[in-house]
Amino acid sequence: MSKTTSTLLAFLTGCASGVFLGVLYAPQKGEITRDRLTFRLSKYREQLEKLIVDLMEGKDFPESMAKAEGEKVVNDAREKAEKLLEDVDRLMAQIKSQSN
């Protein structure tokens, strides 16, 4: 995986973790916090799904010998994005179960 892709995924993971922790420790009622977190996670999920679609369509990849390496990067990024989607879904389920 290229350094740029690794850096991007690390940045996105750090951002998601920061948002999650920031919202959890926000000085608001739990119900409001859970609603905000669910909303943000759903937006995050939509962005990840769009990223997966863009990667699968091969946007911004030049036609050359680098294409094989690009496909490998795309597959790695797709797998990591799918794992992040699973994590988001699990967090949303936990939030919903706690609000009931």
Distance CA 41, CA 36 (A): 9
Dihedral of CA atoms 79, 85, 87, 89 in degrees, nearest 10, equals -150
Beta strands in the chain (DSSP E): none
Domain assignments of the chain as residue spans, ordered by start: 3-99
pLDDT for residue 54 = 74
Top pLDDT among 6 and 62 is at 6
Give the model's confidence band at 26: pLDDT under 50 very low, under 70 low, under 90 confident, else very high: low
85 or 58: which leads in pLDDT: 85
Averaged pLDDT for residues 73-82: 80
Q: Is the pLDDT of residue 44 over 70?
A: yes
Task: Judge whether residue 6 has pLDDT over 80.
Answer: no
Which tokens belong to 49?
Answer: 């799904």
